[in-house]
């Protein structure tokens, strides 16, 4: 190969190497931004003051958007954005305040699962939403229950899926299964210091015990 040919080949090698390096840097930045976004979502859930919650979720949304912009193929980036968008939608309760916001939230969740069908957190969120949402908004309780069952079997640390499935089991009249799932969720949340889930798991267990007590006292045997 001539000297000029070697120079051209060397030049292309430098360009290709630079492109790979820039792609790796973008991916690393996306991973970091997605992690920060999820941390903001968790901190917002733990906050008790509305203004603080809103600030965390807004910051998390911005970080999630940046993570997606850096690497659109990062499933965690889309999930982190979903997390904050969802919390912003329900900051004043579970009522739907924005159909556009809801659709955007679901788009991010579905994109995360499209990129990574085995994304446990995204699967847990999808299953939970399917059992909670009415049919007009895409709810499907049977499919949601199946997803939650898969998550519980595959993910020993999955707290949210166990709580969501506990509520389903209670509605089905399978009270002992519901209590077991909620108790397991509480133990896992305590073990891994998931503070927001600790509070939720305790609340679910209390509701289950109160419902069981109410059912017992309302029962009057016939003689």
Higher pLDDT, residue 8 or 97: 97
Specify if 193 maps to a domain. Answer: no
Kindly state whether residue 36 falls inside one of the protein's structural domains: yes
pLDDT of residue 17: 45
pLDDT, tens digit, 9 for 90 and up, residues 26-56? 568 999 999 999 999 999 999 999 999 999 9
Classify residue 172: in a domain, yes or no.
no
The pLDDT value given to residue 219 = 46
Residue at 217 is within a domain: no
Q: Which helix (H) or strand (E) holds 101?
A: helix 99-115
Report d(CA 35, CA 187) in Å as an integer. Answer: 24
DSSP annotation of 136? G
Q: Is residue 158 part of a domain?
A: no
Picking from 52, 122, 61, the residue whose alpha carbon sits closest to that of residue 88 is 61
Averaged confidence pLDDT in the chain: 87
> What is each CA distance from 144 to 5, 103, 110, 221, in whole angstroms?
60, 18, 14, 37
The pLDDT value given to residue 99: 83
Structural domain contains residue 135: no
Residues whose CB is less than 8 angstroms from the CB of residue 98 and which lie 6 or more positions away in sequence, other chains included: 89
Q: Is 34 within a domain? A: yes
Q: What is the pLDDT of residue 82?
A: 98
84 found inside a domain: yes
Owning domain of residue 104: 1-117
Total count of domains within the chain: 1
Provide the 10 A C-beta neighbour count for residue 147: 23
Q: How confident is the model over 115-167, as pLDDT tens digits?
A: 999 999 999 999 999 999 998 889 999 999 999 999 999 999 999 999 999 99
């Amino acid at each position: 190969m001539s000297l000029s040919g070697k120079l051209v080949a060397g030049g292309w090698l430098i360009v290709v190497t630079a492109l790979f390096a820039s792609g790796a840097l973008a991916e690393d930045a996306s991973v970091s931004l997605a992690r920060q976004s999820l941390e903001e979502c968790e901190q917002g859930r733990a906050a008790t003051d509305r203004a603080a919650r809103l600030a965390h979720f807004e910051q998390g949304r911005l970080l999630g958007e940046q993570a997606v912009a850096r690497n659109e193929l990062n499933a965690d980036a889309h999930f982190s954005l979903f997390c904050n968008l969802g919390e912003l939608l329900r900051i004043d309760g579970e009522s739907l305040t924005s159909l556009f916001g809801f659709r955007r939230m679901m788009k991010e969740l579905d994109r995360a699962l499209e990129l990574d069908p085995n994304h446990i957190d995204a699967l847990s969120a999808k299953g939970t939403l399917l059992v909670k949402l009415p049919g007009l908004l895409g709810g499907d309780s049977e499919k949601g229950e199946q997803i939650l069952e898969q998550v519980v079997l595959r993910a020993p640390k999955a707290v949210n899926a166990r709580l969501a499935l506990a509520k389903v089991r209670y509605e089905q009249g399978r009270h002992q299964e519901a209590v077991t799932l909620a108790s397991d969720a509480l133990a896992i949340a305590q073990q891994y210091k998931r503070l927001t889930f600790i509070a939720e798991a305790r609340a679910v267990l209390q509701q289950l015990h109160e419902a069981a007590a109410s059912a017992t006292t309302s029962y009057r045997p016939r003689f």
